[in-house]
Each structure stands twice: as C-alpha cells, then as structure tokens.
C-alpha cells in the first residue's frame, strides 16, 4: 500500500513539491539551534532596524535581534503548535465520530447536536474568549486550538462509519462475537483513516495560520519566545522603515501553509481509488 501511495504521489508534481517543502520545514525546525547564526534573544545594540546585510542576512528588529535566527527558532514553535493542536483535535474527532457512526440512535443525535452547536460558534472568537480567561501561552494555544477544531474530523469519521457498519466484514466480526471496541478500532477505523489523514495534514496548515494570527494580536506565543506571528507584530509598528520585518515572516507563513495544502491535496488524490480507476 505504501509503495502504491508513493508512486501516486510521485506522479503528482505539485504534491511532490509540497512534500519536499514540508520535509524541508521539518529539517529547518529541528536544526534551528545549529544553523541559526545567533541566539534568538541576542541583542546587537549597534545594528537596530538594520536591513539585510552580511552580518544579519534578514535584517534586525527594533531592539537589534537577528530576524533570521528568530524565524528559524520560530519555525519550531509554529510547527509544534500545529502538530499538537491537530493531534488533539483528531483524537477527539475520531472518538466522537466513531461512537456516533457505530451506535447511531440517541448517541448519534446527542453527539451531532453538540457538533452543530460548536460549529455555530465562530471558532476564532471562541478561541479569543477562552484565551482571555486562561491567559496566552504556547501550551494554552495548542490545547485551545485542538479543543475547538475537532468537529470536521468527527463528521468525517461518522460518515465513514455509517457506510461501513453494515459491510460484510463488520457483520462477520459481530457473528464471531468480537466486542464493539475491537470492531471499531480493529476493523472499521483502519478503513476510515484516509480522509482523516488528509484532513489532519490540511489542519496543520490551518493551525499554523491561526497561531500566527493569535501571536500577531498579542494573544498567542508571548515574547521573548519567537514565533512568526509575533515577529510580524514587531514589524507592524515599523512597516514604513523596516519592510523586512513583515515580508520575511509573511513569506514563511505563506510557504508553510501552501506546502501543506499542496501535500494534502495530493495525498487526497493518491488515497482515492476511484480517481485512479478513472485514469
């Protein structure tokens, strides 16, 4: 299965570009302490708001910190927020969606009405309200984004379970006395993971974008810890005289979100057997 998936991705050039960019972002984030020319909090008081130069390839901010170093360290922060938040939301969505789709009836109605209530609340304003109570920090951001973005996963898993629960292999498992938990997690869930994986990949891009927006507003990762969002916030006050503080973090966010979207779209096509049957 994995060899077929890789082969299909290989023939999708945009997905391949996205996969290479995603892998490159991982490498950059992991090697940030090694490749960064300075510590993220190192202040060079002789080079404040300096444009890109030999000493500071991406310039310095309003207190003399190297922008390249802060962006390299900030890549780890942004990606870790994305992956932890998506992990939380995917886990919650899988459990609730599996219960709703497998048991149906009252269980399904209660869970899906709760999903409808959550979907009726604008998620960004809900996150802002929760942060106002618990306070901004990197761990709070991870947990809050995860707890407010599981509804799409739950609906995907529920739909897959509704289409699978009357299949022959599920009926056969029931006939031999398999427990509900074994049927759900051993037989049905592995056959429902393709759309969940694609949704998780696309969800990382959304979480990175959301974390950057919150940090830009001052409600996300707090200084002096660097993230792409709070680097952009520093550039807002100096946008007329220090263009590099806005351009380079903005490009990093753009490339990250675009690479995950390209990879996610290609992965969706590679996991869809109907598309390849038509080809």
What is the domain partition of the chain in residue ranges?
A: 2-278
Distance separating alpha carbons of residues 223 and 63, to the nearest angstrom: 13
Number of CB atoms found within 10 A of residue 64's CB: 16
Any idea how long the chain is? Answer: 279
Yes or no: say if 77 and 137 are a contact pair by the CB < 8 Å rule. no
Distance separating alpha carbons of residues 202 and 196, to the nearest angstrom: 10
List the structure tokens of 148: 């407010």
Tens digit of each residue's pLDDT (9 = 90 or more) over 80-99: 888 899 999 999 999 999 99
CATH tag for 2-278 (out of 3.40.50.150, 1.10.287.990, 1.10.3720.10, 3.40.710.10):
1.10.3720.10
Yes or no: say if 235 and 71 are a contact pair by the CB < 8 Å rule. no
Number of CB atoms found within 10 A of residue 193's CB: 14
pLDDT in tens, the chain (279 residues): 667 667 777 777 888 888 888 899 889 888 888 988 899 888 888 888 888 988 899 989 888 899 999 999 988 888 888 889 999 999 999 999 999 999 988 999 999 999 999 888 888 888 888 888 888 888 888 888 899 889 999 999 999 998 888 888 888 988 888 888 888 888 888 888 888 888 888 888 888 888 888 888 888 888 788 888 888 888 887 888 888 888 999 999 999 999 998 888 888 777 765 555 445
Q: Under 8 Å CB-to-CB from 29, ≥6 apart: which residues?
A: 72, 75, 76, 79, 80
Distance separating alpha carbons of residues 191 and 185, to the nearest angstrom: 10
Yes or no: say if 70 and 42 are a contact pair by the CB < 8 Å rule. no
Radius of gyration of the chain (CA): 22
User: Looking at the DSSP assignment, which residues form a beta bridge with residue 65?
Assistant: 43
Distance separating alpha carbons of residues 279 and 115, to the nearest angstrom: 37
Among residues 19, 42, 28, which one has the least CA distance to residue 71?
28
List the structure tokens of 29: 């984030």
Burial 145-159 (b: 16+ CB within 10 A, else e): bbbbbbbbbbbbbbe
Which three-class secondary structure state does DSSP give residue 8? helix
CB burial of residue 52 (10 Å; 0-12, 13-18, 19+): middle
């Amino acid at each position: 299965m994995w060899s077929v998936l890789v082969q299909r991705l290989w023939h999708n050039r945009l997905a391949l570009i996205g996969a290479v960019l995603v892998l490159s972002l991982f490498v950059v984030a992991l090697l940030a302490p090694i490749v960064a020319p300075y510590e993220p909090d190192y202040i060079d008081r002789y080079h404040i708001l300096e444009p890109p130069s030999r000493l500071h390839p991406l310039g310095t901010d309003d207190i003399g910190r190297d922008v390249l170093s802060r962006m390299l360290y900030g890549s780890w922060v942004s990606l870790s927020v994305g992956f932890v938040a998506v992990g939380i939301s995917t886990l919650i969505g899988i459990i609730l969606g599996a219960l709703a789709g497998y048991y149906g009836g009252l269980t399904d109605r209660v869970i899906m009405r709760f999903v409808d209530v959550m979907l009726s609340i604008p998620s960004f304003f809900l996150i802002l309200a929760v942060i106002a109570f618990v306070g901004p920090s990197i761990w709070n951001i991870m947990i809050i984004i995860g707890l407010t973005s599981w509804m799409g996963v739950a609906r995907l898993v529920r739909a897959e379970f509704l289409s699978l629960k009357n299949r022959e292999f599920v009926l056969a498992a029931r006939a031999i006395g398999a427990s509900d938990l074994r049927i759900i997690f051993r037989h049905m869930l592995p056959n429902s993971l393709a759309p969940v994986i694609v949704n998780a990949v696309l969800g990382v891009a959304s979480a990175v974008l959301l974390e950057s927006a919150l940090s830009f507003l001052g409600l996300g990762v707090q200084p002096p810890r660097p993230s792409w969002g709070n680097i952009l916030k520093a550039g807002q006050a100096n946008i007329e005289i220090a263009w590099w503080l806005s351009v380079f973090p903005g490009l990093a966010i753009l490339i990250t979100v675009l690479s995950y979207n390209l990879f996610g779209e290609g992965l969706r096509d590679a996991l869809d057997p109907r598309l390849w049957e038509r080809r």
